[in-house]
Homo-oligomer: A and B are copies of this chain.
């Protein structure tokens, strides 16, 4: 028996990978694929938690804002990532598409029930939540205690881990190429800085030949050890 889950591009990485074929058929009945245009919100801060979803394609930002418009990006979500607040009645954060995206949506109550009946799925969800908690806690150290230079360096290293294009890496070298999936303002909102400070730190790194900037979106790490050093101690 075929389900649309069989053809899902994230079936092996999303939490669904915990399910066997019968279970996939069951969960498939609860889901629907939805397209979201860049800039469109999937979940609003303060909304009741009515849906949860898997990211299938594209990218999202998870944000929290102050009344006067100051915004902090709390996390980035890529294909196979899980979105939403299961087992809770409010969404405390907004989820907005950074690029044209596709998600596989479930009603939260359907999902909650299904999860409780499938411990392996619940286990996958727990593991993901624990990993995300580690990641968020790491960024608390960054936001609370790191300088602008340290933040930008840490950010570039983290992005290169997530996005490094293996096909571009020079054999035997430590060169790493990647395209940031968003602009400088978003970087600033991730790092808790202003756009100008981010820009200045980037040009500084370029001047010192730690990175190259072929264009505004692309980054090439030239000297990983030095970048690592800056990320952890601020000193070049």
Interface residues of A (CB under 8 A from B): 62, 64-68, 70-72, 74-75, 85-88, 92-93, 116, 119, 122-123, 125-127, 129-134, 136-141, 143-146, 191-192, 232-233
Structural contact, B140 and A64, CB atoms closer than 8 A: yes
Taking CB as reference atom, which chain B residue is nearest A64?
A: B141
Main secondary structure of the interface of A (DSSP, over half): helix
**Which residue of B122, B143, B145 contacts A144 across the interface (Cβ within 8 Å)?**
B143
19 A-B pairs within 8 Å (CB atoms) are namely: A64-B138, A65-B141, A66-B232, A72-B140, A72-B144, A72-B145, A74-B137, A87-B127, A87-B130, A88-B134, A116-B123, A122-B122, A122-B126, A125-B126, A126-B129, A129-B130, A143-B143, A143-B192, A145-B192
Given contacts A74-B140, A75-B137, A93-B137, 7 further A-B contacts (CB under 8 A): A64-B137, A66-B233, A68-B233, A70-B145, A74-B141, A85-B134, A92-B137
CB neighbours (8 Å) of A129 from chain B are 126, 129-130, 133
Which B residues are CB-close (under 8 A) to A87? Answer: 126-127, 130
Complex Cα spacing A126 to B86, Å: 10
Q: How far is the CA of A65 from the CA of B67 in the complex (A)?
A: 31
| Chain B: minimal CB distance from A155 (Å) | 13
Report the nearest B residue to A90, measured CB to CB. B134
Chain B residues in 8 Å Cβ range of A116:
119, 123
A64 to B192, CA, bound (A): 18
Instruction: Please state if B130 and A66 are interface contacts (CB–CB under 8 Å).
Output: no
Complex Cα distance, B234 from A70, in Å, reads: 12
Which residues of B have CB within 8 Å of A191?
144
| Closest A-B pairs by Cβ, 6 of them | A144-B192, A143-B143, A72-B144, A64-B141, A119-B119, A70-B145
Identify the closest chain B residue to A140 (Cβ). Answer: B74
